[in-house]
Structure 1
Amino acid sequence: MKMFCAGQWQDTKQSINVTNPFDQSVIDTVPQGSGEDIQNAVGVLERGAQIMKSMTAYDRSVILQKAAELMLERQDDLARTISLEVGKILGEGQVEASRSADVIRLSGEEARRMTGEMIPLEGNAGGKNKLGFTLRVPCGIVAAITPFNFPLNLVCHKVGPAIAAGNAILIKPASDTPLSALKLTEILLEAGLPPEAIACVTGPGGEIGRAICTDTRIRKISFTGSYEVGTKICEMAGMKRVTMELGSNSPVVIMDDADLEKAATAITMAGYANAGQVCISAQRILTSSKVKTDFVDLLKSKVDVLQTGNQLEEGTKIGPMVRESDASRVEQWVNEAVSQGARLITGGQRQGAIYAPTILDDTTPDMQVVKDEIFGPAVALSYFDDIDEAVRLANDTTYGLSAGIFTQDIDRAMKFARQVESGNIHINWSSQWRADAMPYGGLKHSGTGKEGPKYAIHEMSEEKMVVMHLAD
């Protein structure tokens, strides 16, 4: 596929192969863009930002609604593209394609509800005959730097709100998985988005990322990825507005009164979906020592039947990781934990980019599989004696994106909700659950700002205060 830059589809002299992680077959090629391409794209996007600013909220909404309809018509193609370039199973690709259309639809709805507020100035000294209200206005040009693991949905969570708020949008998709974003760009153009108002530039993240961060014409950056890269973006971005959706090592607490069947089922889904390559994957499974044996046996029985293999074949539950090097890293971390005293309950084998679903028992906070983000199909079990210890262990991390607890005790549940340092808290479910309309974002090193169309529109617009000084 070509990239869309400076209002037209373009090739470059050099290209990048997009491969199927399962067998390394080449799916397609995309251009290897550069910092100069970013400069050219932004030059046209400046005009696009003025076009979008003058467009009514109704017209922006119509474009997004039409795009959502086209996405649903092409859901099968989008799902297959997602599965091919990421390695997630086709069923998960279908879910992502459907959710992505819903995010664009929600963004269109929220475009019509973008509003300011009245400020009661007469309640202040000197406020007589003063009428105050705020206006929300577009940022101008929004840059979306997106990850590989949800190459359509997480793009939509940035692109939809940016358009709804009246901005022009520059997309930098992950180099491993650029095809879904390019197909979304095609759909948005077909739906009526002005070609000056969108660009999708493919290529190496380092050079293109620097060009985005240092271009003063770009007002807003929305990034999803690692803490390390997010920190570098913030350092380079200067006075730009930023939204950072970063990593996690999500804790899930299993209390002694938990529904163990429900907990084991939820963690089997949350620990291994998309081969564990989800920022809110269940990773640290903190379990009451009173139910240790029962819970481990139940979880193992569910994980053992997860079939790995070709993500496009029926019956496969876990496909390959996006790169063999990532599967090798997970293998190294698991082996290191075992050498430090952890017990391998199941899994632990790698075949190319496929890593078997793994359970580690008796892990400790100093092990890398616990303290860092594993981003792979493995969970780490450890134990506690009471709710206070569970909360302490849950908070023993620099991250704070999502956390869950299983308990029938409302007081324990509310203590967990109030005291655990996490942007998303789930009661009687695992860490991995997200409704696309909800405010979504992390605390601590897990980032700043919120996603979800309503909340992202706020992040991608700016507030102006208007004071009318009225005559007596």
Structure 2
Amino acid sequence: MQMFVAGEWVGAASGDTFVAESPATGEEIGAVPEGGREDAQRAINAANRAAESWARTTAFERAAAMHRVGDVIEERRDELAHTLTLDQGKPLRTEAYDEVEELVGYWRMAAEDAKRLEGRLANSFSPGKRVLLIRRPRGVVGVITPWNWPYTMPAELIAPALACGNTVVWTPASTTAVAAIALAGCVAEADLPPGVFNLVTGPGAIVGDEIARNPGTHGIGFIGSTETGRKVAEAAVGKALVLELGGNGPVVVLDDADLDQAAEATVTACFLCAGQSCTAGERLLVHRDVREAFVSRLARLVTERVVLGDPFADGTTLGPLNNAGVAVKMDAHVADAVERG
């Protein structure tokens, strides 16, 4: 496995690699380049060299390129779903294929939105003069993404950035770098000009930090924890920022709620992606008058539908946690709940 920089598949400048492992079995998936600041800088330089010519392409040319990426993803649907389950751990049939389908949608939406990105003719204060607002690409956009949705979260940032005429340098979470390389392969096959899209794998504290603070990036998109998001914002001070951070949202069930629908929604909120989501239902606030009825319904649905097992098995609906850090956090949450009764 390799990184993708300036239109070529390359290893880390240092030659270092790290081992990617399956969260379900612990088996070794493969060796991934452990990029560093030098690799991030090389990618940023490549993106800057490509920025001017990519920005000059028409919205319709860029839209066609985004659709080509979507076409490749559709062709590789089975391969991408399998890689996602192997690397991230989410169940193949109930979640992985759904994420791949959603991934296609992100690239196609970006393609069509690019065509509709307009300027405007604003009213002028001075007679005989016209004020024309034109939207221009920012330049190089750095993208830093998490491991819970290794395909759709990056696409949420990368596809619109490219469609609007920006070039991209992307670093994914290390625990789903294999899935990131698979997605990068789809972008590479779509034949964008060299340097327009770049992937650098490696530690977020090093590669992500370099991408965020390097003066060669002009905008930063980050999805991840609030703590890390603050660090990214500090490193990227003065740049355009898009930060989608973690949450601690409750599921609120009032006394007049449809309890069947509430229980259905709660199962999804709490168990989708094994609960590893910024929008997960981390707390249940239930009106005392319907508590017993709601708990009864919820317990039945969990027993019937939540099946922990091999994520490649057809009947599995709940896969493993993705990494050791989140497993420790989950143990602490469960212990706290038990202690509090």
What TM-score bracket applies, with the shorter chain setting the length?
A: over 0.9
Local SS of the residue matching 2:131: strand
Q: Find the partner of 2:23 among 15, 21, 24.
A: 21
Task: Give me the identity figure in percent.
Answer: 34
Q: Find the partner of 2:109 among 106, 111, 115.
A: 106
Do the aligned partners of 2:5 and 2:195 also contact (CA within 8 Å) in 1?
no
Measure how far apart 1:29 and its partner are: 1.8
- Alignment correspondent of 2:86: 84
Instruction: Tell me which amino acid in the other structure corresponds to 1:186.
Output: G
For 2:323 and 2:163, locate their aligned partners in 1 and report how far apart those are by CA, in whole Å.
34
- Alignment correspondent of 1:371: none
Local SS of the residue matching 2:217: coil
- Alignment correspondent of 2:174: 175
Do the aligned partners of 2:162 and 2:168 also contact (CA within 8 Å) in 1?
yes
Do the aligned partners of 2:47 and 2:140 also contact (CA within 8 Å) in 1?
yes
Instruction: Tell me which amino acid in the other structure corresponds to 2:101.
Output: S
What 5-or-longer segments of structure 1 have no aligned partner?
344-472
Instruction: Tell me which amino acid in the other structure corresponds to 1:29.
Output: A
Do the aligned partners of 2:81 and 2:96 also contact (CA within 8 Å) in 1?
yes
Local SS of the residue matching 1:130: coil
- Alignment correspondent of 1:30: 32
**Larger Rg: 1 or 2?**
1
Do the aligned partners of 1:189 and 1:195 also contact (CA within 8 Å) in 2?
no
- Alignment correspondent of 2:308: 308
Question: Which digits, 9 at most, give the CA deviation of each residue in 1:434-470, with x for residues without a partner?
Answer: xxxxxxxxxxxxxxxxxxxxxxxxxxxxxxxxxxxxx
For 2:228 and 2:18, locate their aligned partners in 1 and report how far apart those are by CA, in whole Å.
22
Instruction: Tell me which amino acid in the other structure corresponds to 2:161.
Output: A
Instruction: Tell me which amino acid in the other structure corresponds to 1:143.
Output: G
- Alignment correspondent of 1:368: none
- Alignment correspondent of 2:10: 10
- TM-score normalised by length of structure 2: 0.96
Deviates more, 1:187-196 or 1:236-245: 187-196
Do the aligned partners of 2:119 and 2:133 also contact (CA within 8 Å) in 1?
yes
- Alignment correspondent of 1:265: 264
- Alignment correspondent of 1:96: 99
Do the aligned partners of 1:86 and 1:148 also contact (CA within 8 Å) in 2?
yes
Q: What are the within-5 Å matches in structure 2 for residues 104-183 of structure 1? A: 104-121=107-124, 124=125, 127-183=126-182
- Alignment correspondent of 2:214: 215
Q: What are the within-5 Å matches in structure 2 for residues 211-360 of structure 1? A: 211-305=210-304, 306-339=306-339, 341=340, 343=341
Measure how far apart 1:185 and its partner are: 2.0
Measure how far apart 1:189 and its partner are: 2.3
Local SS of the residue matching 2:174: coil
Local SS of the residue matching 1:137: coil
Measure how far apart 1:327 and its partner are: 1.8
For 2:335 and 2:104, locate their aligned partners in 1 and report how far apart those are by CA, in whole Å.
41
Local SS of the residue matching 1:138: coil
Local SS of the residue matching 1:238: coil
- Alignment correspondent of 1:74: 76
For 1:250 and 1:81, locate their aligned partners in 2 and report how far apart those are by CA, in whole Å.
30
Instruction: Tell me which amino acid in the other structure corresponds to 1:154.
Output: M
Do the aligned partners of 1:51 and 1:197 also contact (CA within 8 Å) in 2?
no
Q: How many residues align?
A: 337
- Alignment correspondent of 1:366: none
Question: Which digits, 9 at most, give the CA deviation of each residue in 1:149-203, with x for residues without a partner?
Answer: 0001111111110111101110101100012222222222221211221110001
For 2:70 and 2:6, locate their aligned partners in 1 and report how far apart those are by CA, in whole Å.
24
Measure how far apart 1:336 and its partner are: 2.3
Do the aligned partners of 1:142 and 1:162 also contact (CA within 8 Å) in 2?
yes
For 1:259 and 1:130, locate their aligned partners in 2 and report how far apart those are by CA, in whole Å.
60
- Alignment correspondent of 1:386: none
Deviates more, 1:303-312 or 1:243-252: 303-312
Measure how far apart 1:232 and its partner are: 0.8
Question: Which digits, 9 at most, give the CA deviation of each residue in 1:389-448, with x for residues without a partner?
Answer: xxxxxxxxxxxxxxxxxxxxxxxxxxxxxxxxxxxxxxxxxxxxxxxxxxxxxxxxxxxx
Question: Which digits, 9 at most, give the CA deviation of each residue in 1:193-228, with x for residues without a partner?
Answer: 112211100011111122112211100000000111
Measure how far apart 1:304 and its partner are: 2.3
Do the aligned partners of 2:65 and 2:192 also contact (CA within 8 Å) in 1?
yes
Instruction: Tell me which amino acid in the other structure corresponds to 2:50.
Output: G
Local SS of the residue matching 2:284: strand
Local SS of the residue matching 1:88: coil
Question: Which digits, 9 at most, give the CA deviation of each residue in 1:9-60, with x for residues without a partner?
Answer: 1123211111110111111221000001111111111111112111111110
For 2:249 and 2:106, locate their aligned partners in 1 and report how far apart those are by CA, in whole Å.
24
Measure how far apart 1:253 and its partner are: 1.6
Relative to its length, the structure with more strand (as a share) is: 1
For 1:272 and 1:88, locate their aligned partners in 2 and report how far apart those are by CA, in whole Å.
11
For 1:147 and 1:18, locate their aligned partners in 2 and report how far apart those are by CA, in whole Å.
15
Instruction: Tell me which amino acid in the other structure corresponds to 1:244.
Output: L
For 1:295 and 1:214, locate their aligned partners in 2 and report how far apart those are by CA, in whole Å.
49
Q: What are the within-5 Å matches in structure 2 for residues 362-441 of structure 1? A: none
Instruction: Tell me which amino acid in the other structure corresponds to 1:302.
Output: L
Question: Which digits, 9 at most, give the CA deviation of each residue in 1:354-377, with x for residues without a partner?
Answer: xxxxxxxxxxxxxxxxxxxxxxxx
For 1:28 and 1:247, locate their aligned partners in 2 and report how far apart those are by CA, in whole Å.
30
- TM-score normalised by length of structure 1: 0.70
Do the aligned partners of 2:83 and 2:182 also contact (CA within 8 Å) in 1?
no
Measure how far apart 1:325 and its partner are: 3.6
